[in-house]
Structure 1
Amino acid sequence: MHPQVTSADTSSFVVPVYQPLPLGAIRPQGWLRHQLQIMRDGSTGHLDEVYNKVKQDNGWLGGKGDGWEETPYWLDGAVPLAYLLDDKALQQKVKRYIDWTLQHQRPSGYFGPVTNAERSGSVTINVSNADQGEDWWPKMVMLKVLQQYYTATNDTRVLSFMTRYFNYQLQALKKCPLGKWTEWATSRGSENVMMAQWLYGITKDKQLLELANLLQSQAFAWSDWLGNRSWVIDAAAQQNDQHWMRRHGVNVGMGLKVPALDYQRTGNKKYLQDLHTGFADLMHLHGLPMGIFSADEDLHGNAPTQGTELCAIVESMFSLEEIIGITGDPVYMDALERMTFNALPTQTTDDYNNKQYFQMANQVNIKRGVFNFSLPFDREMNNVLGMRSGYTCCLANMHQGWTKFASHLWYSTAGNGLAALTYSPNEVTAKVGKTNTAVTIKEITAYPFDEQVRFDLAMSQAVAFPLQLRIPAWCEEAVVMINGEKIRSEKGGQVITLERNWRNGDQVTLQLPMQLRTSNWGRNSRAVERGPIVYALKVGERWEKGHDDAEGDYFSVYPTGDWNYGLPEKIIQSPAQYLKITQVQPVTDQFVWNLEHAPVTITATGKKIPEWKLVDDVAPQPVTDRNGIYKGRVNEQEETISLVPYGCTKVRIVAFPVVK
């Protein structure tokens, strides 16, 4: 753990490179808006009606029901959804919980559901009896809910509420440290630190940095672990019950932001190196082709049949969004897109009412069973698609993935400019330049499937401001055009700045050629990529509905075609020659991440590996030599196979063995 620090050096606080825009400034369009509409009509908009734990006598409305993490988890995605879609009904729904929370803060600053001690007597929680309060952890999530609500509404109650709570917390933590009630608060203290530092950015109250120091001194030492390497190696080697909380994938996903937060607070660039080292190590030892690390529930190596928890994906995405703002490093922008456009969409059903607790990269069926996951075994429900299957933390928490991605497509920059750092169809409105002139930019694109992103600018008067655009690392050379005229070419892996006097009707076009390529993953497997998308074997799907008395209805999915193909070595050596884009169907406003709507198909050849069969319902990777070639029996005949975006699949092979 960090040594306890009780003073704060405000001069070292680092202003983030990029600042998120207020919630509601970005309006998703096209396929992304449709994804959010599906969520509104599905579980995100109605979880309080269909999930009894949130529905019944909710603790965050003063009742005796759920007063821990699941209601704040749900709100952490439902609040941004309500304002991204400007949906008044959903705004009113979530505001009930926000209003109750703001209106029932104790005089001491403590907040949250009525505690057992408060119900049983005349106690009101204050610093002197703080030990009769309840877990710090769920309050951290509710603080994130309130912060988003504030940026959407400028409701000043939030700032005074947080100020009072943080004053209480600064004193109470000395008596009741983060780990007083659960280790969840200790492992996830970063969420609390982040909110204290956010408020400091507004109020400049130096006690907030003192609080952030105190919180981090009591929390898991993620910066030390990420930077010192032995932690990630130990996590790869150990799967026992010792220190499993520091291997827990969701904790890791949240912990990724800690070095960036430590850097923001202290100005010490060593923390940036800790982050760089730790993230690279994490993905080398535990990374999977769809851009996320194994987390089933613990870190579990890089075999393509390891699982990843849905919560780990959405928490890692949010950490990357925070890291991007603080550091401005395009490495994490690329990582965010890869995770979002591959790992995220595959793990929920089309109607966003069912989720898969663990997904696998090479997933040749979805069914009940006991797999090589670190937890849990006996329930046999952690791989199926169900509303309540596996643990329900993901049912509550999955809603922040798409919504926070959409709300972080743009950031504000120094010089009162705008930066498009990840791409999807949307419209953004902000005040820019020295004159604070309102500008609206329509981002028109079928990205991530298409190579072109167009920005149409509208404003009442000309205004000079910097417009920054990311060139992804996978792009060898991008072309930038303004009003149809090529103005520059740029290499990938950087953020470029276009600074000029912009006029109403100006149009910027960014061409991002997407080369076909392959990448190397666990057990000498290879994945096919184009742009930010990873492509998986297209296998027909047979869905089967089941019911579990404890966990409700669920779906299994079985393949209707063969999956046991290896990729010929010639494809690895020359992907552009032997891989062909054979089908491009329009990405319409009704796009859904499924096989029917897959906009791009890559045609390849494959050879069947007869002995590559299911073992305990998974497809263990065939053994290869050091050159990466499978040496067992392979069919001589090459067959034509189709590859589609990973996020459009439910059953698939994405990490292929290589054959002669």
Structure 2
Amino acid sequence: MKKIFSIALSSAVLSLSAFAQTAKPVSEQYGELPLSAIKPTGWLKHQLQIMRDGTTGHLDEVHPKVGVDNGWLGGKGDAWEETPYWLDGAVPLAYLLDDKPLQQKIAKYVNWVIDNQRPSGYFGAITKDEREKNVKVDVANCASGDDWWPKMVMLKVIQQYYSATNDKRVIPFMTKYFKYQLQALKSCPIGKWTEWATSRGTDNVMMAQWLYGITGDKSLLELASLIESQSFQWSDWLGNRDWVIGAAAQQNNDFWMRRHAVNVGMALKAPAINYQRTGDANYLKSLKTGFTDLMTLHGLPMGIFSGDEDLHGNDPTQGVELCAIVESMYSLEKIIAITGDTYYMDALERMTFNALPTQTTDDYNAKQYFQIANQVHVKRGVFNFSLPFGREMNNVFGMRSGYTCCLANMHQGWTKFAAHLWYTTPDKGLAALAYSPNEVTARVGAKNTEVTIRETTNYPFEEGVQMEFSTASAVAFPLHLRIPSWCKKATVTVNGEAVQNPDGGQVIVLNRTWKTGDKITLQLPMAVTTSNWGRNSRAVERGPLVYALKLEENWEKENQQEEGDYFNVFPKSDWNYGLVDKIVKDPAANLEVKTVKPVTDSFVWNLQNAPIEIKASAKKIPGWKIVNDVAPQPVTDRGGHFLGKVDEKTETITLVPYGCTKVRIVAFPVVK
């Protein structure tokens, strides 16, 4: 079988010749750059600095479950998923920011895990049998080991650490573990300890295939196939519509792990990972069918499917778990690398710039377990959630509110997005497939010439992206640039000369010789549009951003004995508006876009910093009120109008980027 995997090499800059020798893409495939290659700048760097100064950099100091007697450091404390979850975001953050103290902190955990690998290849926290019976965990007594699932996350941690450091211990460590696992799975299958491992086996498959891309050891493909056979059959389910229809119809205990939104977010990449191993294009068909069906039946305007905790339909009063967002983002980043399909690039962008930023506080010290699209207040309550949780804390902003899995796992969202702004190409070039301010350094072209590209932009708020080249000598290589599908026609200039006017929904290639001082300007006109969502509601969009009603916020701090401090957020003004129908008929003529604030290097995703506002005509719907803590969507006719009582007075409302809001309406009824 051909080697078909792209490799994240771990020198300071990527040697594309090494990439070409070890990875043969099945189709239009992209490779990952090492963590040290991309340096976020501008507002994105500030976002990562906030995380470093908040819980991403200090979770071990503020979260006792991780900080006390940690099992991943040899103690008797957390030995399951939360510590690896945290490190899965903290490791890329440490190297994206080149932050030495954070690098030293995460190295403690990585070193302990590698240095305490058992002679058999097994790794992880000290098990009960090891501690109490002095049993050695090996293939013959694999039952004395522990759950496969948290090790899957720790493997991702160590792979990223290798990408950043080229630590020579990593490849032998993983090789030894996977040899153990291949034999142990025959008597201790993937689901022996928990169904979490069965539902998330794709993450294990992905890591085995990553190592195969380096070593070419065919036993790793045997292992990948074995794990796939023992795990949930997500590729089949995504491709055959019964699963997603059943998830929309059922909310009982039967097969709920198949509807669990975080499992689904992780599973999105399963068909792509299987395609990577087999080259079977039917997997890509299953992926496209499954993701499209998922967003059709369960999709919300901010680009994510509902999941509170189960998939729960497309009503804008349903919630979504923060873990589901960051896991879906990571799956899309992997899918993009394998497929090169712009459909998934657009989906990643929408999810990142809308769903992600709204669900954490400005200081990154508190999170919401479930956010709601039409979120008219944030407070304790049951809401419409399939998992309301006994203490009714799933909607508030708190460090430990709801379940703390998201407190540990939320850190991979921004960090992995930043690490996937650029990819390598099989033709020894670079690809910019998502846009944000950054600087990338890599080796390109026939002679592996080092080049640095500084990307300056206030995207996603502004239309322009500028790139400036720096290289010791002129170098010929192809530069791939994504043109988003929402952009009808872009303009690309090189050194002031227009070179292309491409349509949206494609990746274009600029293949030329580049030298220091060369400049590219990518202009992506952002038209205002509306889109149709659950219960015939309408959302206003401009470029990659979805816009929501601007509601001034009243924050109230409270305390719950078991879960600590938390915040409620209430609106200071009315929210029960419907958009007038002329906006839907002609958005460009009836929506006024204003730039009200500059996007500075200290930008924070909040109401005070919202740089763009859209003025819209609306009328109040007096009967639209809160019921059981949510605002049930007014019923509209098939023509798209709410026909109940509406105020005669037309008012001007202000919309701001969804990601800058905490309370809002984003899915509006339409009135005449």
In the superposition, the TM-score normalised over structure 1's length comes to: 0.98
Aligned to 2:11: none
State the secondary structure of the residue aligned to 2:35.
Answer: coil
- Of residues 225, 231, 255, the one that matches 1:243 is 255
AA of the residue aligned to 2:142: A
Provide the residue aligned with 2:551 in structure 1. Answer: 539
Three-state SS of the structure 2 residue aligned to 1:112 is coil
1:143 and 2:155 correspond: yes
Q: Secondary structure at the match of 1:15?
A: coil
Query: Which residue among 508, 511, 514 is the counterpart of 1:499?
Result: 511
Aligned with residue 350 of structure 2, among 325, 338, 360: 338
Q: Residue type matched to 1:546 in 2?
A: E
Query: What is the correspondence of 1:461-500 to structure 2 with a 5 Å cutoff?
Result: 461-500=473-512
Equivalent position of 1:3 in the other structure: none
Q: Which amino acid aligns with 1:232?
A: V
Would the aligned equivalents of 1:324 and 1:333 in 2 still touch at CA under 8 Å? yes
Shift in alpha-carbon separation, 1:52–1:12, aligned structure 2, 3 A: closer
Counterpart amino acid of residue 320 in structure 2: T
Indicate the residue corresponding to 1:323 in structure 2: 335
Report the residue type matching 2:638 in the other structure. Answer: R
- What one-letter code is carried by the residue in structure 2 that aligns with 1:65? G
Q: Quick one: which of 129, 140, 143 aligns to 1:128? A: 140
1:163 is matched with which residue? 175
Residue in structure 2 matched with residue 570 of structure 1 by the alignment: 582
Q: CA deviation at 1:377?
A: 3.7
Tell me, in whole angstroms, the C-alpha distance in 1 between the residues paired with 2:630 and 2:152. 38
Counterpart Cα distance in 2 of 1:264 and 1:353: 38
Select 1:289's aligned residue among 292, 301, 304.
301
- Tell me how large the CA RMSD over aligned residues is: 0.8
Q: Is the 8 A contact 1:382 1:389 kept in 2?
A: yes
When residues 59 and 377 of structure 1 are mapped into structure 2, their CA distance, relative to the original with a 3 A threshold, is closer
Deviations 1:434-463 (A, max 9, x none): 011110000000000000000000001000
Moved over 4 A (4+): 9-14
Q: State the secondary structure of the residue aligned to 2:501.
A: strand
Deviation at residue 416 of structure 1 after TM alignment: 1.1
Match of 2:231 among 219, 227, 239: 219
| Match in the other structure for 2:567 | 555
The within-5 A match list for 1:48-447 is 48-447=60-459
2:3/2:212 contact within 8 Å kept: no
1:15 equivalent to 2:17? Answer no
Q: Say which SS state the counterpart of residue 529 (structure 2) adopts.
A: strand
Is the 8 Å Cα contact of residues 25 and 426 (structure 2) preserved in structure 1? no
Contact 1:465/1:502 (8 A) holds in 2:
yes
Contact 1:10/1:206, CA 8 A, preserved across alignment: no
CA distance in 2, matches of 1:410, 1:583: 28
Give the whole-Å Cα distance in 2 for the aligned partners of 1:326 and 1:473. 19
Residues 115 and 526 (structure 1), Cα distance of their counterparts in 2 relative to 1, 3 Å cut: same
Query: Is 1:602 the counterpart of 2:614 in the alignment?
Result: yes
Offset from partner CA, 1:387-413 (integer Å, 9 cap, x none)? 000000000000000000000000000
Rounded to whole Å, the distance in 2 between the matches of 1:462 and 1:308 is: 49
Task: Report the CA distance between 1:122 and its aligned residue.
Answer: 2.2
Q: Residue 43 of structure 2 aligns with which residue?
A: 31
Q: State the distance in 1 between where 2:265 and 2:244 align.
A: 13
State how far apart, in whole Å, the 1-side matches of 2:501 and 2:25 are.
Answer: 30
Amino acid at match of 1:153: T
CA contact (8 A) 1:10 1:209 kept: no
Q: List per-residue Cα deviations over 1:410-441 (Å, max 9, x = no partner).
A: 00001210000000000000000001111000
Distance 1:46 1:381 in 2: 23
Q: CA deviation at 1:12?
A: 7.7
Q: In 1, Cα distance between the equivalents of 2:2 and 2:526? A: 45
* Paired residues of 2:241 and 2:290 also in contact (CA < 8 A): yes
Give the match's secondary structure for 1:527: strand
Q: Which residue of 2 aligns with 1:520?
A: 532
1:233 shift after superposition: 0.2
Give, in whole Å, the separation in 2 of the partners of 1:606 and 1:620.
Answer: 18
Correspondent of 1:454 among 449, 466, 486? 466
Q: Which shows bigger deviation, 15-24 or 647-656?
A: 15-24
Q: CA deviation at 1:15?
A: 2.3
> 1:170-221 CA deviation, whole Å, 9 max, x = no partner?
0000000011000000000000000000000110000000000000000000
Residues in 2 aligned to 1:39 and 1:377: alpha-carbon distance in whole angstroms = 28
Query: Paired residue for 1:633?
Result: 645
Q: CA deviation at 1:376?
A: 2.8
Unaligned runs of 5+ in 1: 1-8
- Greater mean alpha carbon deviation, residues 646-655 or residues 577-586: 577-586
Q: Retained in 2: the 8 A contact 1:371–1:377?
A: no
Deviations 1:19-40 (A, max 9, x none): 1100121000000000000000
Query: Secondary structure of the equivalent of 2:538?
Result: strand
For residues 493 and 514 of structure 2, the distance between their equivalents in structure 1, rounded to whole angstroms, comes to 14
Looking at structure 2, the residues matched to 185 and 216 of structure 1 have their Cα atoms a distance apart, in angstroms, of 11
Give 3-state SS (helix, strand or coil) of 1:152's partner.
helix
Distance 1:318 1:145 in 2: 13
Amino acid aligned to 1:345: P
One-letter amino acid of the structure 1 residue matched with residue 25 of structure 2: V
Q: Which residue of 1 aligns with 2:21?
A: none
Counterpart in 1 of 2:626? 614
The letter of the residue matching 1:24 is S
Between the aligned partners of 2:378 and 2:354, the Cα distance in structure 1 is 18
Aligned residue for 1:45?
57
Unaligned runs of 5+ in 2: 6-23
Percent of aligned positions that are identical: 71
* Counterparts of 2:230 and 2:345, CA distance in 1: 30
Using the alignment, how far apart are the partners of 1:252 and 1:216 within structure 2? 15
What is the CA distance between 1:584 and its match in structure 2? Answer: 3.5
**Cα distance between partner residues in 1 of 2:391 and 2:351:** 28
Distance of 2:230 and 2:407 partners within structure 1: 29
- SS of 1:490's equivalent in the other structure is coil
Amino acid at match of 2:596: V
**What is the total number of aligned residue pairs between the two structures?**
652
Q: Secondary structure at the match of 1:186?
A: helix
SS at match of 1:178: coil
Which AA in structure 2 matches 1:502?
Answer: W
